[in-house]
């Protein structure tokens, strides 16, 4: 069974750093891209960026370029989303999802990681 | 890049058909056959209902269908059921080698 299991909820203060994770199982991790998607409270889904775990080729939405870093460690089938300095506007639910190159779709999703940033 | 444009809400009675539009540009929806539709129940992971404009993943009801004309894609739900009440998002590949989601549509079953 294909699974993407994300790390647990986080409560952080502004200015702190954070790295959340997404561990894939039940499939060949390096065969699929991993994307990260944000949903701010009461808002819609926003595509943040994606990584190819096979070679760490990474693409970012212009809205998120420079704001976050996406990485992956293929030896442990895990992708990451990290911030160097959080702000209150980073408060959101973050989902990871996998997509096969050329399919144009994200066919399996993680359960989401809630991030709350507050002083 | 701007989010694809969807109506904020669509409603219908059980058994009826509804259609949700998703308007982009020639740099996304109109330029590629990589439009997907996702169903999202609050608190749960999104689920792909349509990919490649009109293909259905295994296990998705054939009451869901997709199409595209020019820069606008559409999702039709026929034989509306209470369980279809959710938020729906379109998504498209873009010329920037990235993806973009639609603004989202809340479907209400009356």
pLDDT tens for A5-26 read 999 999 999 999 999 999 999 9
pLDDT number for residue A37: 98
Closest by CA to B53, choosing from B38, B69, B26, B33, is B33
Task: Give the model confidence (pLDDT) of A52-90 as tens digits.
Answer: 999 999 999 999 999 999 999 999 999 999 999 999 999
Beta A113-117 vs A10-12: how paired, if at all? parallel
For CA atoms A60, A62, A63, A68, give the dihedral sign: positive
The burial class, CB within 10 Å (0-12 / 13-18 / 19+), for B6 is buried
In chain B, % of residues over pLDDT 70: 100
Query: Closest to B89 (Cβ–Cβ): which among A45, A97, A109?
Result: A45
Phi, psi at residue A74, to the nearest 5°?
A: -70, -15
For B13-102, strand residue ranges (E) read: 18-23, 35-40, 47-50, 64-69, 72-77, 86-93, 99-101
Residue B106 pLDDT > 80, yes or no? yes
What average pLDDT does range B7-20 have in this prediction? Answer: 98
Mean pLDDT of B70-87: 97
Nearest to A59 among B33, B40, B97 (CB): B97
Which among A74, A103, A65 is positioned nearest to B91, based on CA atoms? A103
Give the pLDDT of residue B82: 97
Q: How far is B34 from chain A (nearest CA, A)?
A: 5
pLDDT at A104: 84
Q: Indicate the residue of B36, B96, B102 with minimum beta-carbon distance to A105.
A: B36
- The answer to whether A64 contacts chain B (CB < 8 Å) is no
pLDDT band (50, 70, 90) for residue B1: confident
Are A104 and B35 within 8 A, CB to CB?
yes
A-contacting residues of B 31-90, CB under 8 Å? 32-36, 38, 40, 45-48, 51-52, 57, 87, 89
* Per-residue pLDDT at A102 exceeds 80: no
- Across the interface, whether the CB atoms of B101 and A47 are under 8 A apart is answered yes
Measuring CA to CA, which residue among A26, B34, B19 is closest to residue B7? B19
- Whether A20 and A11 have beta carbons less than 8 Å apart is answered as no
B26-36 pLDDT per residue, tens: 999 999 999 99
Chain B residues with CB-CB distance to A44 below 8 A: 3, 87, 89, 101-104
* Least confident among A99-113, B17-31, B64-78: A99-113
- For position A90, what pLDDT does the model report? 98
Residue A88 confidence (pLDDT):
97
Is A45's CB within 8 Å of B40's CB? yes
- Among A14-18, A88-92, A99-103, B96-100, which is the least confidently predicted range? A99-103
């Amino acid at each position: 069974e294909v699974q993407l299991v994300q790390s647990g909820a986080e409560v952080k203060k502004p200015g702190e750093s954070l790295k959340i994770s997404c561990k894939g199982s039940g499939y060949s991790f390096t065969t699929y891209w991993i994307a990260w998607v944000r949903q701010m409270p009461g808002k819609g889904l926003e595509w943040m960026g994606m990584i190819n775990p096979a070679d760490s080729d990474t693409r970012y939405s212009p809205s998120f370029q420079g704001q976050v870093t996406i990485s992956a460690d293929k030896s442990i089938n895990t992708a990451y989303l990290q911030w160097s300095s959080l702000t209150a506007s980073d408060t959101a639910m973050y989902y990871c999802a996998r997509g096969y190159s050329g399919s144009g779709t994200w066919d399996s999703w993680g359960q989401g990681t809630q991030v709350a940033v507050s002083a | 890049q701007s989010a694809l444009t969807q109506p904020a809400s669509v409603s219908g009675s059980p058994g009826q058909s509804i259609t949700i539009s998703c308007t982009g540009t020639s740099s996304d929806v109109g330029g590629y056959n990589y439009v997907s539709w996702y169903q999202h129940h609050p608190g749960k992971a999104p689920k792909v209902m349509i990919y490649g404009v009109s293909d259905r993943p295994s296990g998705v009801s054939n009451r869901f269908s997709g199409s595209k004309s020019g820069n606008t894609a559409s999702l039709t739900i026929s034989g509306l059921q209470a369980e279809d009440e959710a938020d729906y998002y379109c998504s498209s590949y873009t010329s920037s080698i990235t993806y973009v989601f639609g603004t989202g549509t809340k479907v209400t079953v009356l």
